[in-house]
Structure 1
Amino acid sequence: MAPAQSLLLNTGRRIPTVGLGVYKTPAEQCVSLVHEALNLGYRHIDSAALYYNEEEVCEGISNWLAEDPSRKREEVFYTTKIGDAFHGYDKTKNAIKVSLEKAKKIQYIDLILIHSPQSDGDRRHGTWKALEEAYEAGTVKNIGVSNYGIKHLKELLAYPDLKVKPAINQFELHPWLQRPELVGFCRQHDIAVEAYSPLARGHKVADPVVVKIADKYNKTAAQILIRWSLEQGFITLPKTANKARLAPNLDVFSFDLAPEDLETLNGLEENYISGWDPTTYPLDSEKS
């Protein structure tokens, strides 16, 4: 059975299972890139304060919505993130305010994530409290984390004043980095798994195993990797600044990978980290 094109979060809201990541996409390209992506059928855009393109992403969404009065804001899911330098209750409150100002043309933010756990326990706690308040105010519809390992999630879930569980944990996932323990922990606690760098930042698209499978299905290697991610039940975020790749990266719902091909792809695991890995960041008790 083909994976669903949206997934129900623990908040009761739905998120499209394929989103456009805009990491390293220059701000001046984002307005037209996002607009084109929405025209092609994307309904999920993933940004961050550290990408320095939040306002342009929101402008692209706003322009697309304004073109047709039948289009509704609820059709598009917009994510941003709180950077490490803005951890702590007061700093996060201000960071949320700044992100909301940049999103004023689209009225609210669908999801804010803590970009990584790289601060300390007190500041992470304060950041979560600020996010909970934004969620309760309704200006942010879902809250979650990114690059949290199991120990960081356990710390958060153990907050004595916890009111809202994370809806999502976003971290690097692809056939060469499958993290079964972390995925399993998230699912045990009803935290949706979101895969960034599903193409391993392009480092592995020429892998002969993937190329052979792609040829079998008459698909690109990128389509095979995105499809693998979907068949694991992940929300997946292929990043591209190339408009020509937008359509094929979304054209991944019309075919199924055979069990033997999924098994072959699952056999590629090698703990390959294509970027950073804050999931290993030490808790306060682990720091020397």
Structure 2
Amino acid sequence: VWPDSFGYNSTLEKVPRMLDELGVDYIDLVLMHAPRKLHPRLLWNMKFGGEDEFTTHECKNQLRCREDTWRALSAFRDQGKIRNLGVSNFNIQHMKEIQALGLAPIAAHQLQFHPWAPQWLRDIISYCHQHRIAVTGYFSLGGHDNKDKAMDMEVLSDIAKAHGKRP
């Protein structure tokens, strides 16, 4: 669920549209895409937890918005319309807030992960492992900031060479 569909009523409207557009009766995994309105410095916000200005027709407060969205998603899970719920780009505090609701568990967390991931990202992954939350990484070759580093890695060069390719 993209942040522009956050909020209880907005999510109640969005999920049936998703099911209809996909032509299915249920969805295996639905993620709350971000803990807040997207910001150019999303990872900075994940690390430090700053709350940006956030307003939609329904959401005026970040925490309340996340909670209301999770309540709506949990209701769809209870109805069998969604099998698992997850998050993307949440920090540990955001996950604790969701877990404190006592509703559907967080099944998965999608976040940036690569060999150059800073310790605070590794801490989030450790928290996920401790709480049996599956982790899905994106930017596995470093993303925009580290793509050149990945291409210079000896192990990748060796793999490419073994297959007659170049990194």
| Residue of structure 2 in register with 1:113 after alignment | 31
What are the superposed Cα offsets for residues 43-95 of structure 1, whole Å, 9 maximum, x if unpaired? Answer: xxxxxxxxxxxxxxxxxxxxxxxxxxxxxxxxxxxxxxx11121111111111
* Structure 2 gap ranges (5+): 37-53, 55-61
Counterpart amino acid of 2:106?
P
| Residue of structure 2 in register with 1:101 after alignment | 20
TM-score w.r.t. the length of structure 1 is: 0.44
**Aligned partners of 1:205 and 1:211 also within 8 Å:** no
Mapping of 1:37-116 within 5 angstroms? 82-104=1-23, 106-116=24-34
Q: Distance in 2 between matches of 1:210 and 1:192?
A: 30
**Aligned partners of 1:144 and 1:168 also within 8 Å:** yes
**% identity of equivalent residues:** 29
Structure-2 change in CA distance of 1:194 and 1:133 (3 Å): same
Give 4+ residue runs of structure 1 displaced > 3 Å after superposition: 201-206, 208-211, 219-222
Equivalent of residue 91 in structure 2, options 112, 132, 149: 149
| Residue of structure 2 in register with 1:175 after alignment | 115
> Could you tell me how far 1:201 is from its partner in structure 2?
3.4
Q: CA RMSD in A?
A: 2.2
> Could you tell me how far 1:135 is from its partner in structure 2?
1.1
Q: Distance in 2 between matches of 1:181 and 1:128?
A: 23
> Could you tell me how far 1:110 is from its partner in structure 2?
1.3
Q: Distance in 2 between matches of 1:214 and 1:130?
A: 44
TM-score w.r.t. the length of structure 2 is: 0.73
Q: Distance in 2 between matches of 1:214 and 1:183?
A: 24
Q: Distance in 1 between matches of 2:14 and 2:151?
A: 44
Equivalent of residue 164 in structure 1, options 89, 100, 104: 104
Q: What SS does structure 2 have at the residue aligned with 1:186?
A: helix
* 1:127 corresponds to 2:69: yes
> Could you tell me how far 1:158 is from its partner in structure 2?
1.3
Q: What SS does structure 2 have at the residue aligned with 1:142?
A: strand
Q: Distance in 2 between matches of 1:140 and 1:146?
A: 17
In the comparison of the two structures, how many residue pairs are matched?
A: 138
Equivalent of residue 129 in structure 2, options 167, 184, 187: 187
> Could you tell me how far 1:221 is from its partner in structure 2?
8.0
